[in-house]
Every structure is written in C-alpha cells, then in structure tokens.
Amino acid sequence: MTAAAERRKILVTGGLGFIGFHLAVRLSREPGTELVIVDNLMRGRLDADARALVARANVRFVEGDLTDPGCYPTLGQGFAEVYHCAAVIGVRQVIERPEVVLRVNALSVILLLEWFVAGGAERLVFPSTSEAYAWTQTFHDVPVPTPEEVPLAVTDLENPRASYAASKIFGEVAVTQYCRRYRKRFAIVRYHNVYGPRMGTDHVIPELYRRAVVERQNPLVVYATDHSRAFCYVDDAVDATIAAMRVPGAAGRTFNIGNDRMEITIGALAQALLAAAGVEASIEARPAPNDPITRRCPDLTRARQILGCEPTIALDCGLRRTLAWYEPFFREHA
C-alpha cells in the first residue's frame, strides 16, 4: 500500500471547543492523518494550545460558520471520517438565547448532512447528549442507569431549556434518516457529564472552582447538593467516540458515553473539589433553580459490549487534571 493510500482525511467540526479539541488533538497524533478543523470561534479559543494544534503540518484550520452554505466548499471532500462536534451548548446559552441554540444546532446538521451525502465523507459520528432523556424522565418512569432504547420526548415547549434537548433529538432524527436513505455509515453518541480542561466556565466544576478558589466564597454555595450525576473525564469520552466511528458493529447504533462508576452527588462533588484544591470551606446547600432531574447515569452495557470501551479515569484523578488547567486560566482571566 502506498503512503498516499494510507492517509486518512478526517474532519472535526467544533474542533476548538471542548470535546472537539481533545478529539482533534488525539486524531492529529495518528500516523497518516490529514485533519481539518472547522470552528467559528464562538466558544472555541485560539489560545496557545489551539495554536499549537493548528500549526501541525497535518492539520488545516478553517474559521467558518456551518450555518452558511458557503462554508462547505472550503472544507473539501473525500473525508474518511466526520465528527460533528459543533453545537451551541450550556445552560446560560439555552436560557438566554434558545432561538440561537435551535437555529445553529438544527441548521448546521442539515447543511452538514447535505454535504455529507453528496460525497463529503464516508462515515459520520453525531454527538448528542444525556439531555435527550431529561424530558422523558420528568413525566415518565425511566430506569436509571438509563439505556439507549428508552423513548425520547420534549414535553414542555415553553421552557427554554427544551431548546437544547429538542435540537439534539432533531439532530439524531436527521442523521438517522439521511444516512439510512443514502446508505451512509453513521453512529450517534450521547455524552453524559463529560468534564476536563477547556470545558468553559459554565460547567459545575469550573463554576465551583471559581467561587471556592478564586473568589474564596465561604460558605460555598452549592445548588442541588442531593442531585447525582455520573462524571466522565474527557479522555474516556474521546476513546469511546473514536470507537463508535471505527468499530464495525457500531454502524447505525446509538451509544451512551459516560462513566457509570463515577456517579456522585453534587454535594459530594463539591467536597471532592475543595479537597483537590486544598481549600477549607463549609457548604451552603440551595435548591436547583432550573434542573428537575435528580439523578442521571448512563447504562453502558451497549458501549462495553460493542465498542469494547471501559472508562479508566477516576474522579479524583480527573479533578486534579482539570483543576491544574483551570488554575492558570482563572489567574490569566482574573
């Protein structure tokens, strides 16, 4: 096989965001990979780490808007793999700009699919979210840990929080129907509370760190202390995402991606964060202002059986790595 034939073209949309960046770094290190990253820098950051990534000889960065049809000719065609990580996410965005969440997430996936089925690439992974289960959980008895086959529903259309879940459910439907109609290989991954460096400042972990360590809040106000979530370090999520793209038995399937062994209450998470940061503070518990789901944890049976993936990063290790990145970040942005 020639060197040219061994090369693999890969596209990562939203590749300077959170999970997209970590995924792009991993893929860029694979021998023979020609990587294209597209990002509009709405959430992604061209910091020193990102500049080092896009400066690699096998990486091309496109600053582009995936809701603009004119963006797609700049990407090229003939990709072996596409990871569509671009999306507007975050509770603040969802509450304050639900119409933007819907427009960007829905329009970008439709335009990407039109490009994809017209010959843009061979295979696609679409990242979805555990929020897809949230509204069903509100009104129906859903098992926790939750398997992929439970029904999905959006039941309160007036609540702006529905915009993110609805946009991702729409994306799942669009990907499934387009790819089956045009016989294109795809997989869907539903991320559950993925955390790590570069996740922004709205996630519960950097938010608690900012208030506890930077602002020295004492008592530390913690919302929904009795709610539990299963936190998954980003490296484990990247492993499973790549497996969903490449394992033959994954084609056409949906997979929960998370760490069911790291389920913890938000109150216990705050205590673990304080210990990892070396900060002594009491905790003032307050009710959740905007989240009725008291427990969320993925059933990973399918991911284990088909993808062969097992999360390996324990919460204490993941927290240390995450806080080590945020300490200089908050100092720089103080």
* pLDDT score of 5 more than 70: no
Cα separation, 144 vs 255, in Å, equals 15
- How high is the pLDDT of residue 222? 97
What mean pLDDT comes out for the span 157-171? 92
Query: According to the model, what pLDDT value does residue 161 have?
Result: 85
Beta carbons of 296 and 230 less than 8 angstroms apart: yes
Question: Which pLDDT does position 74 carry in this prediction?
Answer: 96
% the chain with pLDDT above 90:
85
Q: What is the mean pLDDT of residues 185-200?
A: 97
Instruction: Please give the single-letter amino acid code of residue 327.
Output: E
Return the structure tokens found at 121: 């690439």
The tens digit of pLDDT for each residue in 27-36 reads 999 999 999 9
Question: pLDDT tens, 199-220?
Answer: 999 899 999 999 999 999 999 9
Q: Which of 130, 142, 123 is nearest to 84 (CA)?
A: 123
In whole angstroms, give the CA distance from residue 10 to residue 33.
Answer: 7
Q: Are residues 159 and 223 in contact, defined by beta-carbon separation less than 8 angstroms?
A: no
At residue 3 the predicted structure's pLDDT band, cuts being 50, 70 and 90, is very low
Q: 292 falls in which pLDDT band (50, 70, 90)? A: confident
Q: Is the pLDDT of residue 4 over 70?
A: no
What residues does each domain of the chain span? 8-195+232-258+298-312
pLDDT band for position 289 (cuts 50, 70, 90)? confident
**Is the pLDDT confidence value at 301 over 90?**
yes
What average pLDDT does the segment 117-131 reach? 97
**129 pLDDT more than 50:** yes
User: What is the pLDDT averaged over residues 126-153?
Assistant: 91
Higher pLDDT, 86 or 4: 86
Q: How confident is the model at residue 43 (pLDDT cuts 50, 70, 90)?
A: confident
Note the pLDDT of residue 83: 99
The two beta strands, 232-233 and 194-195, are parallel
Query: Do residues 193 and 316 make contact, with C-beta atoms less than 8 angstroms apart?
Result: no
Confidence of residue 1 (pLDDT cuts 50, 70, 90): very low
For residue 2, pLDDT beyond 70: no
pLDDT band at 112 (very low <50, low <70, confident <90, very high): very high
Give residue 300's pLDDT.
98
H/E stretch holding 216 reads: none
What are the residues whose beta carbons fall under 8 Å from the beta carbon of 204, sequence distance 6 or more? Answer: 266, 269
Burial group, residue 12, by CB count within 10 angstroms (0-12, 13-18, 19+): buried
pLDDT band at 299 (very low <50, low <70, confident <90, very high): very high
pLDDT 10s digits, 220-266: 999 999 999 999 999 999 999 999 999 999 999 999 999 999 999 99
Q: Which residue has the higher pLDDT, 14 or 95?
A: 14
E strand map for the chain: 8-13, 33-39, 59-63, 79-84, 121-129, 185-191, 194-195, 220-223, 228-230, 232-233, 254-257, 263-265, 283-286, 295-296
- Name the pTM for this structure: 0.95
Topology given in CATH for the domain delimited by 8-195+232-258+298-312: Rossmann fold (3.40.50)
